[in-house]
Amino acid sequence: MDVPNIHPTAVIHSTARVDEGVEIGPYAVLGENVALGLGTKVGSHAFIEHAIIGQNCVIHPFAAVGTPPQDLKYRGEAGRLIMGNECTAREFVTLNRGTLSDGGDGVTRIGNKCFFMANSHVAHDCQVADGTILINSVALAGHVTVEEGTIFGGLSAAHQFVRIGRFAMIGGATGVERDVPPYALVEGNRARIIGVNIVGLKRRGTTREELSLIRQAFDLLFSSEHPLAQAIETLEAQQPKGIVLELINFLKAPSKRGITSKEKGLSL
């Protein structure tokens, strides 16, 4: 049995649960209702509470995980953060637990193999899917939904209740105030669509035929010559499949913020 390696200066709450192979560094603090999965490492001075952390995660020094929401409506209700396996939180990352405000279920969820670079922030009730990367100093506001494989460039930010589709790429210093479609490449303040995330699509093994179809779909959907609803109807008439159908379904799903367009600050 690979017993936990806990530094004598670490502070561990009586309710904390630590699996085999866990390492906890000097002056780290595990507060109430913490569970650390097999092989997870917690650096010096890190702080974790009300969080379930999966296997083989790395929480670097001075990160704060599962801490209270930065929400004026928060009244101390129970909440937690759930993180999957093989995630990394670098120095001074803050990952807040969920609330019961604005329809939340009290849980901030983070998938597997997510990477949060130094000083990045995930607010209460965010839902962050597998393989998401937040570059340095990215900020996600409350209730943001991020789908699989999204990358946020440094110093970018997302407004409350925004949805980010799969394999989208958010350029550095971009202010995202409306939903970003799957596979989109966006940048600017405020964000606008500047193209398709071709690099991300190629990395996931997308065929040339699929790349051509998604480019054509973007040209039709986000052209200023066509209202979005009309463009969706035109695409649906072609009986699309695969990633084009996924794109259409995302655009038709309920949205609290509207859809990012090619025009700066314009919603669709």
Q: What is the pLDDT of residue 262?
A: 85
- Whether pTM > 0.75 for this model: the answer is yes
Q: What is the pLDDT of residue 90?
A: 98
**Among residues 45, 50, 121, 124, which one is catalytic?**
124
For 115-124, what is each residue's pLDDT tens digit?
Answer: 999 999 999 9
Active site residue 142: yes
Share of residues in the chain with pLDDT > 70 (%) = 98
Alpha-carbon span 131 to 205, nearest angstrom: 16
Contact of 178 with 267, CB cutoff 8 Å = yes
Active site residue 131: no
**Among residues 125, 143, 149, 179, which one is catalytic?**
125
Angle at Cα 21 formed by Cα 18 and Cα 25, nearest 5°?
75
Contact of 183 with 200, CB cutoff 8 Å = yes
Active site residue 102: no
Alpha-carbon span 79 to 75, nearest angstrom: 11
pLDDT at 224 over 90: no
Q: What is the pLDDT of residue 1?
A: 62
**Among residues 142, 153, 165, 200, which one is catalytic?**
142
Give the mean pLDDT of 215-220. 95
For every residue of 237-249, DSSP letters joined together read TT---HHHHHHHH
